[in-house]
Structure 1
C-alpha cells in the first residue's frame, strides 16, 4: 500500500539534461557562422552528452532523495521506520553518528537532522530544509503519542 508523502526532496532536478543539446546547438551555431554545417554530427554530440547526463541525474535522484511517509523516513536508499524514532527535537548531534543514506558525510547542500532512536543511539538524517523535515517528523511522533522531545 502506498503511503502519503509528508515531506519530499528530489535528489536532483532534470534541468542538467539540457546541457548536451544546448552545447550542440551552440556548436552548430558557431559552425554556421564559420562555414558549412554538419547537423548530423551535432545531433550525435547532443545524444552522446545527453545519455551520461541522464544516468548521472537518475543516480543522484536515487541516492540523494529524501521522503517522509507516516511509516518511514527514506534517505537515499536507506529506510528508517518511524516506529524506531524516539525524538527529533532538542537532539544533540554526536560525533561519529551514523549518517543515514549510506554515505560517510552529509550530502553537499544539506543540513544535519540529528535523530534519537528508541535504542538510545543517535543517527544523522539530512535535508536541504532541515527544519521542515524535523517539523514533519515531530508531527508524526506527536500523533503516535510518543515524545517529540529528547
Structure 2
C-alpha cells in the first residue's frame, strides 16, 4: 500500500517541450509567406532537435527538483529522508554550511529553504517552491 502524498512539487511540467515545435512552425509559416524556397525538412529537424533538448531538461528537472512528502518520508530530488528522523521543523536556524537535501551544493533556484533538525542535532536544508506550505505539512507530521 502506498502512503498518501501530503505535499508535492513536480519540478517542471512537460509543456516546455512544445516550445521547439511551435518555434519551428512559426519559422515555417514565415518562410512560406515570403518569396523563395520553403525548407520544410530543415524546420522539422530544428523543431525536433529543440523538443529533444527541452525534453531532456524537463526530465532532469522532474528527477532532481521534485519534492514529495508522505507520512513516512520526505523526498527531495534524489534523496529520501525518513520523517521519523526529523526532530524539529520550527525554531530551527540555518547554519552556514548546512547540508542541502537532494545532493546539491545549494537549494535549487526558485525555491526557499526549510531548515530541519534531524537525529544527532544535525541541521539539514530541505527546500520547496512554497516553503511555508512544506513547513506546515512537516510540522503536522513531526509534532503529533
Q: Taking structure 1 as the reference length, what is the TM-score of the superposition?
A: 0.91
Q: Cα deviation per residue 1:56-110 (whole Å; 9 max; x = unaligned)?
A: 1001110000110111100000001001000101111111100000000110011
Task: Quote the residue 1:110 is aligned against.
Answer: 111
Q: Cα deviation per residue 1:107-138 (whole Å; 9 max; x = unaligned)?
A: 00111100001211100100010010010001
SS class of match (1:138): helix
Task: Quote the residue 1:58 is aligned against.
Answer: 59
CA distance in 2, matches of 1:87, 1:64: 23
CA distance in 2, matches of 1:89, 1:122: 12
SS class of match (1:70): coil
CA distance in 2, matches of 1:54, 1:108: 19
CA distance in 2, matches of 1:140, 1:115: 13
Number of matched pairs: 143
Task: Quote the residue 1:83 is aligned against.
Answer: 84
Please give the root-mean-square deviation of Cα atoms over the aligned residues, in Å: 1.1
CA distance in 2, matches of 1:11, 1:48: 22
SS class of match (1:37): coil
Task: Quote the residue 1:38 is aligned against.
Answer: 39
Once the 2 structures are TM-superposed, how far is the Cα of residue 16 of structure 1 from its aligned partner? 1.1
For structure 2, list consecutive stretches of 5 or more residues without a partner in the other structure.
none
CA distance in 1, matches of 2:108, 2:51: 24
Task: Quote the residue 1:3 is aligned against.
Answer: 3
SS class of match (1:58): helix
For structure 1, list consecutive stretches of 5 or more residues without a partner in the other structure.
144-150
CA distance in 2, matches of 1:50, 1:115: 38
Q: Taking structure 2 as the reference length, what is the TM-score of the superposition?
A: 0.94
CA distance in 2, matches of 1:128, 1:51: 26
